[in-house]
């Protein structure tokens, strides 16, 4: 072999080796916030190519028999990275993939777990809500993320919860609970009895503006009940992991209660929806991340909901 062909051969070997490295899955960063409960902190942002749609808090709970995943992230790629994070912690099988609600940042990683043959678990109202928005969600995901969205798809629940349900991971029971329409009409929480850890999905936003895609009245009712659960640890859908309790819930409750109060007053005065949007909650801007993206939409949603009360 002459020198030139030896170099070519070496370059080829390096190329193959680096391709293998690129293919190796980088695990998603997770933190054990309570024994057996591992959570990943998403970016406080809307989905962008830079964050790859990794904007929700997701994670998993480990029992002696198997693992339950709680939300899978905004893309197939994020779901795969979450799966790699699980494999770095335990060789136990993934027996449940739980979705806390229909929103894209919580469900589009589901397909990464298909080969594990888990039960996909969600509210009894989840499948229909996903189906109604599937086309829009996929179109938006591809527009927002481009190549990073590749392979992402909706995987509907195979086991549904209406009210309260229990999953046994071996030495660890998870209590799943559905709620009155609030953030969405298919919100579901997961409570790990053993560690007192409550995974709220988007029924709790910490520092990031709560988004009303269901009912502000229902959400306030749910908050009163969630408060009574008095968890030792909390994983909110967005914002810092294990934030101060109940202060984080207090802040969300105050925002939603003020929103309902001010929108009711505007309707009573005969103000238009546009006038309400332009005048309500302007001082919330300094209190919440993503105010500019979601607050006006919240006023619009609350107005549409509350005008039927009169």
Residues that bind Zn ion in the complex, under the rule CB under 5 A:
103, 202
Distance in Å, CB of 94 to Zn ion, minimum: 22
Q: Give dist(CA 308, CA 310) in Å, integer.
A: 6
* Closer CB to Zn ion, 84 or 124, in the complex: 124
Contact 79, 103 (CB under 8 A): no
Nearer Cβ to Zn ion (92/289): 289
Output 235 or 266, the one with its CB closest to Zn ion. 235
Shortest separation between residue 115's beta carbon and Zn ion, angstroms: 27
Residue among 101 and 172 whose Cβ is closer to Zn ion: 101
Is the Cβ–Cβ distance between 273 and 303 less than 8 Å? yes
Place of tokens 């043959």: 117
Who contacts 12 (Cβ-Cβ below 8 Å, separation ≥6)?
none
Distances (CA, A) of 141 to 111, 135, 155: 15, 10, 15
- How many helices (H) and strands (E) are present in the chain, helices listed first? 8, 12
Give the nearer residue to Zn ion in terms of CB position, either 71 or 242: 71
Min dist CB 249 to Zn ion, Å, is 17
Q: C-beta of 105: minimal distance to Zn ion in Å?
A: 7
**Could you tell me the smallest distance in angstroms from the CB atom of residue 97 to Zn ion?**
17
Based on its alpha-carbon atoms, the radius of gyration of the chain, rounded to whole angstroms, reads: 22
């Amino acid at each position: 072999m002459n020198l030139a062909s030896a170099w070519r051969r070496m370059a080829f070997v390096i190329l193959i080796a680096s391709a293998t490295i690129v293919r190796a899955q980088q695990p998603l960063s997770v933190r054990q916030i309570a024994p057996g409960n591992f959570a990943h902190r998403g970016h406080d942002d809307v989905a962008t190519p830079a964050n790859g749609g990794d904007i929700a808090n997701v994670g998993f709970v480990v029992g002696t028999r198997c693992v339950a995943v709680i939300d899978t992230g905004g893309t197939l790629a994020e779901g795969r990275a979450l799966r790699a994070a699980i494999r770095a912690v335990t060789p136990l099988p993934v027996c449940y993939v739980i979705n806390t609600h229909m929103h894209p940042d919580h469900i589009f990683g589901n397909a990464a777990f298909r080969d594990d043959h888990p039960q996909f678990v969600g509210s009894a109202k989840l499948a229909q809500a996903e189906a109604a928005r599937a086309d829009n969600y996929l179109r938006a995901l591809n527009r927002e993320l481009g190549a990073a969205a590749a392979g992402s798809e909706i995987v509907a629940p195979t086991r549904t919860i209406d009210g309260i349900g229990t999953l046994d991971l071996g030495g660890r029971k998870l209590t799943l609970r559905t709620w009155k329409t609030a953030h969405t009409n298919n919100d579901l929480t997961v409570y790990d009895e053993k560690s007192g850890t409550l995974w709220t999905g988007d029924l709790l936003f910490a520092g990031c503006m709560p988004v009303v895609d269901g009912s502000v009245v229902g959400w306030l009712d749910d908050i009163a009940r969630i408060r009574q659960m008095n968890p030792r640890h909390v994983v909110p859908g967005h914002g810092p992991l294990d934030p101060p309790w109940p202060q984080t819930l207090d802040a969300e409750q105050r925002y939603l209660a003020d929103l309902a109060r001010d929108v009711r007053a505007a309707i009573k005065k005969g103000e238009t929806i546009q006038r309400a949007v332009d005048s309500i909650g302007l001082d919330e801007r300094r209190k919440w991340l993503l105010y500019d993206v979601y607050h006006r939409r919240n006023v619009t949603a609350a107005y549409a909901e509350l005008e039927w009360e009169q």
